[in-house]
Each structure stands twice: as C-alpha cells, then as structure tokens.
C-alpha cells in the first residue's frame, strides 16, 4: 500500500470533518483495502458541496464541478473529492443529465457494482456498507447495485467494466447481471472509442488477460468492439506447431502468461495473429497462413486507429505484428543483417512477443535463445547505426533514385555492419559491385 497517499487522503477526510462535514473513502480504494490489495487511487465522498470544498482547501481543480466533483491537490498528487449525490440518466453515454446532492445511503445506490459501493472511515476505521458489497467481495462476485438493466442503461461502458473487474480480480459475474449484460451488449456502440480503449487496456495489461478475452467473447461485446478478434474462434491451426488449439485459444494462453506488460506488448499479443482467419489455407499438405503477418500489421493499424490509440503506439505494435514471423530466419541471416535488425527500436518488443508466442504453442525457443546470445555479443544495447553511404551519395555516384533505393541502402548498411567497408569511397565502390547503375 502507498502509505503516503493513504495519509494524505486521510488528512483530507480529517480536514472536511473539522469543517463540519461528513467525509469517507469511497469506491475502488475501499474495495482494495478490504481485499488487502494496494490501492492506487483514494477517492473521498463528502456532504460538503463543491463550493465548500474549494473554500476549505487551498489548491483545487474544478474538473467536474457541475457533477459534484473537485480535485484536491496535495503536492504533486490529485485526490477526487465528490459530494454525495444521486444522478439522472446518461444521455451522452458519459455524464449524468442531472445531479442532486444527497446522503451516503443514496450515493451508494447510484454506483455501478456492490464491490464499489462501500464507504470507509479511515479515522475510526469503520466500514459503511449499504449495498452488501463486502459479502460479494467475500463471495468473489461482481453484482450490479439494484436493477442491472438500469445500472447499464445509465452508462453502457459499465458492461465492459463488469468484465474488467471480474477479470482483474478473478471474480465471477452474478448470473442476473451477466444475463442482462449479454442482452444489452449491442448498446456498447453508443460509447466513445476512447473510453472503450481505456477499459480494454486495463483488461489486457493486468491479471487474467486471457480470461478477459474469453469473457468479452462470451458476453457478445467482443464481436461488437473487436469483431476481428472474435473471428479467431474456430480458426484451426496445424497441430504439429499449435497443439493448444485454434487461434483464439492460442491468443488467450499468451495473454494469460503476461505479467504486468506494457500496452505495446499486450496489444502485440492480442493482434499478432489477427489476420490468420483471412489467410487460412488448408488446400496443401497442412494448414498455412501465407502472409498473415503482413496483412495482420495492416489490420492492426486499422483497429488501433479505430480505437484512437496514439500514433507512436500504433506504429510500434504494427511493426511487431509485421515482424513476428522473422524469427524463423534469424539463424540464416548474414551477421550484418541480423545486427541491423537487432538494432531497431522495436526489437526488444518483438523478441518478447516471439518468446511468448513459442511458449504458448510448440515450445521451441531455440531462435529466442540464439537472439539472446547474439545480443550479448553485440553488448545488449545496440545504438542505431549511422549509415556511411546515404541516398544523396548514391545519386551523386550516378544511381537513379527510385523505389529500389530503400532496399539498396538497407543492404549497404548490413554490409557496413559486417565490416565490408569503412569509408564513403569504399561504400560507393561496394555499391558499384552490388547494384546496376541506371542513369
């Protein structure tokens, strides 16, 4: 537990109490405290109005004042302080149409799930549970507060949040909540892609990510938000290389093997075989997926743009997906080509993706081990090599610029890394031998 955050949040509660207001910890931090998990954020619920909160604390941010939410700034940290409230429907799919300040009991009833509707007094160390949330924590159940249909109608994102909480905590979704979720799944289309993306990241970068994929599929949500991933179900693979089963099962196993991965790695795992259903071919001696990595990179970029991921992250994941089959050739690469490949920005991401891919299928890690040994030889941290010969040098030497230039420069760099030339003059002479000069 972050003791300094706990102390700062407790002091906020104490300050509100001294000013004559009720104040309690609320939401996920209470759940985590009860479960003896590290609480990442401490939220405070209070009878003080937003105006009162702004007057009491010297530094605040009115991030959601009209919804009763003020951020209290302590040092470089922000603590959400929200007035006890009831809410209207969420017409825009994100914010309530109206807010009415009320009591802790009523405030608890407007929250999403019982495990998130508990309050805690950090001064008297007393739990206030108006929704039987502690019972559901003990039973490891995700249960909507009150009527599940009403809770999900208020904010359709809560359907994915139910899956996220069940996944991250290893809980089961209560039967009625689950059935309503499945029935209402198509309504997820009303939620912005940015909000969906943020929930997906929390599912796939935390514990039980494979379970998250399976639950999203079982709920019907996956077919709506990631239909490309749903299509991996039933896409068979050659049993000699994939004894674990179809593409969906393979991806599920890989996701479950992750341990606090970066977003880049989690998304690379999720999408690395996304094009296998489109390239499935069983007309020959065995099942093949020709060029699935190349097509997968294109589809990955399309999906991640749809989900509004940052451009840099899209680029890194797409490259990793594109290159994930290159490892079968590493032992046959010329030393310069291998060194050039291992010096790329995304190589460490690709290498880890390869390890997880192999471990979740045939289990052969010889190419992974080979690359690790080569990294040691290349002193692990390989700076991006600077080419001795560039495009302008080739043009001045009489070569005609064109589509083949990029490949020519890459090949020259590989030979440079092998020590075939050390100067620009030697490099150009080498180019004269390698390539046809077209004027």
Concatenating the DSSP letter of every residue in 45-61 gives EESS-HHHHHHHSSSEE
Residues 196 and 175 in one domain: yes
What are the residues whose beta carbons fall under 8 Å from the beta carbon of 419, sequence distance 6 or more?
none
In a domain, 267, yes or no: yes
Helix, strand or coil for residue 85?
A: strand
Residues 135 and 35 in one domain: yes
Is residue 81 a contact partner of residue 47, using CB atoms and an 8 Å limit?
Answer: no
Provide the number of structural domains found in the chain. Answer: 4
Ranges of H-type helices in 272-420: 276-279, 292-306, 311-323, 335-342, 347-359, 366-377, 391-396, 405-417
Ranges of H-type helices in 116-232: 133-139, 148-154, 158-169, 175-184, 193-204, 209-219, 221-225, 227-230
- φ, ψ of residue 217 to 5 degrees: the values are -70, -45
Residues 21 and 112 in one domain: yes
Residues 27 and 63 in one domain: yes
Residue 197: domain span: 140-202
**Domain finish residue from 86, 114, 139:** 139
What are the residues whose beta carbons fall under 8 Å from the beta carbon of 381, sequence distance 6 or more?
none
Give the pLDDT confidence of 247-304 residue by residue, as tens digits: 999 999 999 999 999 999 999 999 999 999 999 999 988 999 999 999 999 999 999 9
Residues 312 and 275 in one domain: yes
What per-residue confidence (pLDDT) applies to 437?
A: 57
Scan for tokens 């009415």, then name that residue.
100
Residues 155 and 278 in one domain: no
In a domain, 385, yes or no: no
Please state, as a whole number, how many other Cβ atoms lie within 10 Å of the Cβ of residue 406. Answer: 10
**Domain finish residue from 176, 202, 228:** 202
- What's the rounded Cα separation, in Å, for the pair 20 and 339? 68
In a domain, 250, yes or no: no
Sign of the dihedral through C-alpha 261, 267, 268, 271: positive
Report how far Cα 294 is from the mean position of its chain's Cα atoms.
22
Residues 156 and 288 in one domain: no
- What's the rounded Cα separation, in Å, for the pair 352 and 333? 19
Q: How far is CA 331 from CA 57, 191, 219, in A?
A: 63, 47, 44
Residues 368 and 402 in one domain: no
Residues 15 and 128 in one domain: yes
Scan for tokens 């992974």, then name that residue.
368
Residue 280: its H or E element: strand 280-281
In a domain, 337, yes or no: yes
- Return the closest-CA partner of residue 94 out of 193, 191, 199, 200: 191
- What's the rounded Cα separation, in Å, for the pair 106 and 178? 24
> What is the domain-level CATH number for residue 82?
3.30.460.10
- What's the rounded Cα separation, in Å, for the pair 298 and 322? 8
- What's the rounded Cα separation, in Å, for the pair 12 and 23? 9
In a domain, 414, yes or no: yes
Beta strands in 149-272 (DSSP E): 172-173
- What's the rounded Cα separation, in Å, for the pair 170 and 84? 30
What's the chain's average pLDDT? 91
What per-residue confidence (pLDDT) applies to 173?
A: 98
Residues 183 and 309 in one domain: no
Collect the ranges in the chain with pLDDT lower than 70.
1-2, 88-96, 98, 379-385, 418, 436-439
- What's the rounded Cα separation, in Å, for the pair 71 and 111? 19
Q: Interior CA angle at 410 toward 406 and 413, to 5°?
A: 140
Residues 9 and 66 in one domain: yes
Q: Which pair of tokens denotes residue 179? A: 């059935």
**Domain finish residue from 335, 350, 377:** 377
- What's the rounded Cα separation, in Å, for the pair 69 and 136? 27
Residues 123 and 183 in one domain: no
In a domain, 326, yes or no: yes
In a domain, 63, yes or no: yes
In a domain, 252, yes or no: no
């Amino acid at each position: 537990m972050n003791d300094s955050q706990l102390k700062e949040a407790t002091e906020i509660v104490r300050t509100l109490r001294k000013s004559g207001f009720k104040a309690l910890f609320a939401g996920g931090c209470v759940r985590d405290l009860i479960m003896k998990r590290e609480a990442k954020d401490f939220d405070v619920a209070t009878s003080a109005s937003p105006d009162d909160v702004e007057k009491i604390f010297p530094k605040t941010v009115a991030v959601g004042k009209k919804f009763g939410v003020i951020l209290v700034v302590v040092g470089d940290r922000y603590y959400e302080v929200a007035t006890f409230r009831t809410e209207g429907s969420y017409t825009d799919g994100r914010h309530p149409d109206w807010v009415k300040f009320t009591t802790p009991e009523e405030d608890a009833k407007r929250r999403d799930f019982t495990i998130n509707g508990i309050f805690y007094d950090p001064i008297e160390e007393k739990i206030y549970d108006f929704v039987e949330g502690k019972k559901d924590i003990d039973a490891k159940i995700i249960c909507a507060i009150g009527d599940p249909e009403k809770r999900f109608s208020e904010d359709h994102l809560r359907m994915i949040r139910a899956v996220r909480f069940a996944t991250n905590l290893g809980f089961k979704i209560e039967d009625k909540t689950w059935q309503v979720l499945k029935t209402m799944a198509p309504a997820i289309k009303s939620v912005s892609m940015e909000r969906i993306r943020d929930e997906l990241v929390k599912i796939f970068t935390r514990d039980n990510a494979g379970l998250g994929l399976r639950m999203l599929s079982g709920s019907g949500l996956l077919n709506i938000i990631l239909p490309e991933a749903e299509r991996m179900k039933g896409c068979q693979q050659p049993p000699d290389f994939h004894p674990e089963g179809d593409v969906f099962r393979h991806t599920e196993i890989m996701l479950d093997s992750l341990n606090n991965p970066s977003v880049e790695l989690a998304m690379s795992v999720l999408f690395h075989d996304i094009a296998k259903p489109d390239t499935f071919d069983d007309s020959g001696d065995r099942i093949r997926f020709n060029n699935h990595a190349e097509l997968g990179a294109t589809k990955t970029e399309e999906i991640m743009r749809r989900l509004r991921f940052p451009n840099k992250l899209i680029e890194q994941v797409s490259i990793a997906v594109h290159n994930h089959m290159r490892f079968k050739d590493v032992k046959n690469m010329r030393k310069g080509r291998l060194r050039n490949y291992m010096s790329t920005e995304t190589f460490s991401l690709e290498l880890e993706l390869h390890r997880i891919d192999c471990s979740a299928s045939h289990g052969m890690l010889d190419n992974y081990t080979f690359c690790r040994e080569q990294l040691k030889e290349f002193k692990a941290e390989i700076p991006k090599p600077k080419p001795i010969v560039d495009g302008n040098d080739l043009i001045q030497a009489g070569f005609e610029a064109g589509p083949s230039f990029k490949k020519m420069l890459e090949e020259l760099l590989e030979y440079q890394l092998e020590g075939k030339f050390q100067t620009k003059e030697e490099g150009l002479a080498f180019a004269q031998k390698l390539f046809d000069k077209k004027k």
